[in-house]
């Protein structure tokens, strides 16, 4: 059985790859539409997000299983070079919504 940390890393990679291959996937778009209306969506620049992770001792894509327990991401508005993340699970939402076994931490999808 793969460890949950490896499983999370697998989902992150799978989500990014699926988003690149099929960015208009209908099921992902439906989930992302829910995120778009949620107060917990935020828009980070990649260096800001990396800075957040580094500030909490995370340097790679392993060990991501406990991100939900970290403090919420800051709330930023959509803007140039900003990408959608969930403030609660800290996931990149265009990737998370592409992975079938990922779920919304608030049970919205
Ligand atoms: S994953 Fe859930 S809690 Fe996070 S932004 Fe989307 S709808 Fe909101």
User: For the chain, how many structural domains are there in total?
Assistant: 1
Instruction: Specify the residue for token string 């990922």.
Output: 102
Residue 74 lies in a domain: yes
Domain assignment present for 108: no
Q: Does 105 fall in a domain?
A: no
Domain carrying residue 50: 9-96
Each residue's pLDDT tens digit, 53-102: 889 887 665 555 668 888 999 999 999 999 999 999 999 999 999 999 99
- Which residues have CB under 6 Å of ligand 1? 34-35, 38, 40-41, 86, 88, 104-106, 108
47 contacts: CB under 8 Å, gap ≥ 6 = none
The residue whose C-alpha atom lies closest to atom 7 belonging to ligand 1 is 35
Distance in angstroms (rounded) separating the CA atoms of residues 67 and 106 = 15
Residue 1 falls within a domain, yes or no?
Answer: no
User: Smallest Cα–Cα separation from 90: which of 26, 58, 79?
Assistant: 58
pLDDT of residue 63: 55
Q: Is 19 part of a structural domain of the chain?
A: yes
pTM above 0.75, yes or no: yes
């Amino acid at each position: 059985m793969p460890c949950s940390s490896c499983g999370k890393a697998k989902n992150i990679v799978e989500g990014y790859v699926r988003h690149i291959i099929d960015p208009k996937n209908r099921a992902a778009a439906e989930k992302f539409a829910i995120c778009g209306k949620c107060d917990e969506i935020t828009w980070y620049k990649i260096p800001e997000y990396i800075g957040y992770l580094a500030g909490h001792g995370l340097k790679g894509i392993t060990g991501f299983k406990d991100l939900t327990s970290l403090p919420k991401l800051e709330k930023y508005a959509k803007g140039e070079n900003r990408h959608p993340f969930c403030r609660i699970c800290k996931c990149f939402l265009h990737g998370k919504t592409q992975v079938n076994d990922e779920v919304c931490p608030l049970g919205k999808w």
